[in-house]
Structure 1
């Protein structure tokens, strides 16, 4: 029997994604983002959150999804990856669900246009509701983390 994990559910377009709660530090409304030159296009810049400078990544851009205008529902999910804080811009962050780790299947090669290496797996929440679990270590691969760490200074 697998362990129970709590997962924050967020949306990009019509797809629902999940990040384990213990990796999420806070969920914020969209706030002014300071652009940083010479970064990847999906790195939107940095925010100052309670005195901490945090790089912000547009997950749509990261996954080569079409950009959309921010709405009232747009959120920045602040996650901790390898002792570094990073903000992910998502279309909305809806709820927290309990998952059994056994319910997470290996990801197919591509889900909604996103390559499998960015995905930890796909969890079936109900007959018609799938949750795509992100592999945060790959979403922020090492060379990008090195570049983002430079932004924090």
Structure 2
């Protein structure tokens, strides 16, 4: 019973890096974290759609979160990861600069995004979390993949 109470008061998230910022997505949606692999480009798609890759026999669309958020591009390096997410019938990969941590955050620590934030990112934000000396942004996955 105590586990049930804890799960309602905390959310397990994966923290990942884009440029100098840390972002978070609920672990429930993460199917796997992969090293960068060859991606087959698909013509006439949105600029942030990198293409598709064959992931264990499943053709998976891949998006570049830097492009999705309007952040300048960066060379792929050893830290670059693909977060493979699954939401409903959709499975897709998101290219990020690095996957940092998996942590539990208390629900009450999630604050609404400040109104002073501008730019494309604001549409995708679910909230902001401050834990000790870390500040990271919780993404609204539905809006990121819409």
Question: TM-score, with normalisation over the residues of structure 2?
Answer: 0.90
CA distance in 2, matches of 1:14, 1:35: 27
Instruction: Indicate the residue corresponding to 2:98 in structure 1.
Output: 92
- How far has the Cα of 1:81 moved from its partner? 2.3
Contact 1:76 1:89 in 2 (8 A): yes
User: Gapped runs of 5+ residues in structure 1?
Assistant: 142-153
Alignment of 1:40-79 (within 5 A): 40-79=46-85
SS of residue matched to 1:116? helix
SS of residue matched to 1:115? helix
- How far has the Cα of 1:112 moved from its partner? 8.2
Question: TM-score, with normalisation over the residues of structure 1?
Answer: 0.86
Please identify runs of 4+ aligned residues in structure 1 that moved more than 6 A: none
CA distance in 2, matches of 1:69, 1:109: 32
CA distance in 2, matches of 1:90, 1:58: 7
User: Gapped runs of 5+ residues in structure 2?
Assistant: none
Change (3 A) 1:110 1:20: farther
Aligned-residue CA RMSD (Å): 1.6
- How far has the Cα of 1:95 moved from its partner? 1.0
Question: How many pairs does the alignment contain?
Answer: 140
